[in-house]
Amino acid sequence: MTVDYSQLYSDLAANMKVSAIRELLKYTNKPEVISFAGGLPNPGTFPLETMKRICNEVLDKWGTKALQYGETEGLSQFRDYLKKMYAASGELVDGDDLVITEGSQQALDLFGKVLLSQGDHLIAEAPTYLGGANAFLVYGCHVDHVEMDDDGMRMDLLAAALKKAKKSGRMPKFIYAIPTFQNPAGVTMPPARRKEFLDLVYQYDNLIILEDDPYGNLYFEGEPVKSLKSMDREGRVVSLKTVSKVLAPGFRCGIVTGPQEIVRKVVVAKQSADLCSPALTQFMAWQYMEQGNMPAQLELIRKMYRGKRDLMVKALKENMPEGVKWTYPKGGMFLWVTVQGVNTEELFMEAIKNNVAYVVGTAFYCDGRGKDSMRLNFSYAKDDEILEGIKRLSNAIRTQRKATPKK
Amino acid sequence: MTVDYSQLYSDLAANMKVSAIRELLKYTNKPEVISFAGGLPNPGTFPLETMKRICNEVLDKWGTKALQYGETEGLSQFRDYLKKMYAASGELVDGDDLVITEGSQQALDLFGKVLLSQGDHLIAEAPTYLGGANAFLVYGCHVDHVEMDDDGMRMDLLAAALKKAKKSGRMPKFIYAIPTFQNPAGVTMPPARRKEFLDLVYQYDNLIILEDDPYGNLYFEGEPVKSLKSMDREGRVVSLKTVSKVLAPGFRCGIVTGPQEIVRKVVVAKQSADLCSPALTQFMAWQYMEQGNMPAQLELIRKMYRGKRDLMVKALKENMPEGVKWTYPKGGMFLWVTVQGVNTEELFMEAIKNNVAYVVGTAFYCDGRGKDSMRLNFSYAKDDEILEGIKRLSNAIRTQRKATPKK
């Protein structure tokens, strides 16, 4: 008798796709390739020396707790610290709870698990974060995209989509939104539209928003934008934050705040998913914040990333041929480029020949759109690599256009 | 308009149960309670000073990698080290792959996710590890128990169960087994029965075993027992190991070895579940092993736990009234007690009154059995607490028997 593993797979397994970014990364690992593809924070911002000291302190003071099984909902000291902080910013209100997950990605997966059944619908921006979409799609749902403009998701289109959904009995289980320095588009929803967004949601029973907010603290000018969570007065918003983009992704600390009932459900799901996240990295992240290191750290990151954004936008202006447009992110890590008359999937191998990489636009849609666009990350590459990489990308676009017969 | 979160939950959410252990732990947290309930390694075995040194070394040598996003399949250096080790012990063969998960618990969840659809069946020992069962039950499966004796799962009963399953078209997707120092029963399957087990499985197409092996290295006498994985010649066994019981649960490093195809599927599932586990703790666990610390560490744990098992068995012999039986574990962390004429769920509050705690037997069955039994953990409590705790438990049993009318 023999075994054919493919005969064993579940219904959910059939929904699992290898991420497009993952497949592309094969090409971008070559040292000669300048990659704008990944979504990595700049390692130059990692506070290594401080972390060495803090790790020693943690193992001295809380060693046996740091190495033991921890609480499923996260380290209580860290949770208490974060609760106070978010209560002060209006992002945690009475009736809310806060739990720590294995990065925001685990929160996305667990919300998918507790909210989505086969055939369910959800609404997401077009384009949207593909890690979120992939986590949701595993549970057999349909992702209905709503178009954005330079101010984020368009409310006229969302209103129409909800009206239609209501009529057809296919109301979305939730709206997945990244309103601040959106990944991949780099756009931000202004306060007035946020209010409009919430008011629209309030018109429907049992409609909630998952606000994915990894970049809110990475604003390059002026003041931070108030989150949807802090503006919500009806318990309609669950907020996902993370230390990945402001301290270190390696700590894998995602932070969920939202109405107690739904957040507790996520804890039950987490219990069977991994029992608990590592206590050591939670202790370290907590102590780093508790000791007051965060303001200077954020200032450092903002300054570095602002410089890199400026450099990339300047390089785009100086090098790109006609018919290439890009968004102007006021924070975060990404900008979105649209290339007239070029299929960015076909362009990709030409770009690799020119030793530069990006993520194809189609990776951020669940409906095949995005063929004329790409995401560029500006946080990771060195300054001179940004200038050189954009030159190479411009050349690749020119070459590709010559090779493509005009329609 | 309002929101009723319970209207939003998925089909899977309906399968999620709060673990019985978790609810009981509320009572066991009081300092006056001696708890045999948890499944915690003894923190006295955690190598804190060595870990402080190693953490510094890791941050010095690999700091930016340790704090950055890591590979979904686990830290490549650690995987290479483990692959060599398991190849040497025959637990990794040609065509196999190895991945690191967020503790074994994540591996249990991900195998559930990729293998189990609503209505599927699996076979597990009676009693079985409730964290495994809960992870599987979320996906809507049925757990069919097969009785054990002092040598683990009974092969005559398994043969009959498989025959019946085949006939009714309800073949199990897999057999979940903990053949070595079983949790909760503390029994171990001898080599001859392991061979019988594999031969039986080989008689069916597409039948595989998930071998959960967290305790294999915690043997108290003689030589370690060869794992099912190392005896398998048909690619039918997937092995789950962990550093939790031999180093520190807080590292959350589970280790999956098995046929490449199925292990790669787990990696795809892990990608949407959490992107990656923390690199820092994987670096630390790898360096701890690589620097040769493991043999002495294992010797220390074995010696301590052997002493505690001896003490608990001695205390049971000296204190327990008639009609109380227990297993004699040759390794691991648990023993299983059967109490004639007493419902251990009803006994629990009497035990708490006596300031001692255990886990009720029913927690380890999916079919309501186990009312006459309980699991005792002997790895965590201090030596004098073991003696005192067993005295208290004996008293509670005596009191409960007096209070219960004989049938």
Q: The CATH number of the domain where B273 resides is what?
A: 3.40.640.10
**What are the tens digits of pLDDT across the range B86-119?**
999 999 999 999 999 999 999 999 999 999 999 9
Q: Residue A325 domain-assigned?
A: yes
Parent domain of B319: 5-47+296-403
**Do residue B101 and residue B228 come from a single domain?**
yes
Report yes or no: B148 and B181 within 8 Å, Cβ to Cβ. no
Taking the CA atoms of residue A142, residue A146, residue A152 and residue A158 in that order, the dihedral angle to the nearest 10 degrees is: -110
**What are the tens digits of pLDDT across the range A14-69?**
999 776 666 677 777 788 999 999 899 999 999 999 999 999 999 999 999 999 99
SS3 A66: helix
Of B7, B120, B108, give the one whose Cα is nearest residue A265.
Answer: B7
Tell which phi-psi region holds residue B191, choosing left (phi > 0), alpha (psi between -120 and 50) or beta.
Answer: alpha
**Do residue A259 and residue A396 come from a single domain?**
no
Instruction: Summarize the confidence of residues B334-355 as an average pLDDT.
Output: 95
Nearest CA in chain B to A53: B56
**Do residue B33 and residue B139 come from a single domain?**
no
- Give the distance from residue A178's alpha carbon to the nearest chain B alpha carbon, in angstroms: 18
Residues from chain B that touch A67, judged by Cβ atoms under 8 A, are 43, 46, 48, 51, 248-251
Whole-number average pLDDT of chain B: 95
Nearest CB among A2, A66, A205 relative to B2 is that of A205
- Give the distance from residue B328's alpha carbon to the nearest chain A alpha carbon, in angstroms: 26
**What are the tens digits of pLDDT across the range A365-406?**
999 999 999 999 999 999 999 999 999 999 999 999 998 766
Query: Which residues, listed in sequence order, are joined to residue A240 by a DSSP beta bridge?
Result: A212, A256
Q: What is the pLDDT of residue A407?
A: 52
Report yes or no: A357 and A34 within 8 Å, Cβ to Cβ. yes
Q: Is the pLDDT of residue B407 over 60?
A: no
Report yes or no: B375 and B361 within 8 Å, Cβ to Cβ. yes
Residues from chain A that touch B236, judged by Cβ atoms under 8 A, are 3
**Do residue B256 and residue B383 come from a single domain?**
no
Residues from chain B that touch A40, judged by Cβ atoms under 8 A, are 68-69
Q: What is the pLDDT of residue B22?
A: 67
Position B347: which residue type?
A: L
Verify whether the Cβ–Cβ distance A206 to B8 is below 8 Å.
yes
Verify whether the Cβ–Cβ distance A280 to B280 is below 8 Å.
yes
The residues, any chain, with a CB within 8 Å of residue B75's CB and separated by 6 or more, are B100, B279, B282, B283, B286
Nearest CA in chain A to B56: A52
Report yes or no: A280 and A67 within 8 Å, Cβ to Cβ. yes
- Give the distance from residue B169's alpha carbon to the nearest chain A alpha carbon, in angstroms: 14
Cα(B205)–Cα(B217) distance, integer angstroms: 31
Task: Please give the residue that has the higher pLDDT: either A139 or B1.
Answer: A139
Q: Residue A370 domain-assigned?
A: yes
pTM of the model as a whole: 0.96
Verify whether the Cβ–Cβ distance A69 to B40 is below 8 Å.
yes
Q: What is the pLDDT of residue A356?
A: 97
- Give the distance from residue B350's alpha carbon to the nearest chain A alpha carbon, in angstroms: 27
3-state percent helix, strand, coil for chain A, nearest multiple of 5: 50, 15, 35
**Do residue A247 and residue A391 come from a single domain?**
no
Q: Residue A57 domain-assigned?
A: no
Counted residue by residue, chain B has a size of 407
**Do residue B273 and residue B392 come from a single domain?**
no
**Do residue A257 and residue A214 come from a single domain?**
yes
Report yes or no: A271 and B19 within 8 Å, Cβ to Cβ. yes
Number of structural domains found in chain B: 2
Picking from B234, B269, B292, the residue at the C-terminal end of a domain is: B292
The residues, any chain, with a CB within 8 Å of residue B177's CB and separated by 6 or more, are B124, B125, B152, B153, B197, B209, B210, B211, B212, B228
Q: DSSP assignment, residue A118?
A: T
Helix H or strand E segment including A375: strand A373-377
Q: Is the pLDDT of residue B167 over 80?
A: yes
Picking from B243, B261, B292, the residue at the C-terminal end of a domain is: B292
**What are the tens digits of pLDDT across the range A162-218?**
999 999 999 999 999 999 999 999 999 999 999 999 999 999 999 999 999 999 999
Nearest CA in chain A to B119: A10
Q: What is the pLDDT of residue B153?
A: 98
**What are the tens digits of pLDDT across the range A249-263?**
999 999 999 999 999
**Do residue B258 and residue B368 come from a single domain?**
no
Q: Is the pLDDT of residue A110 over 80?
A: yes
Q: What is the pLDDT of residue B294?
A: 97
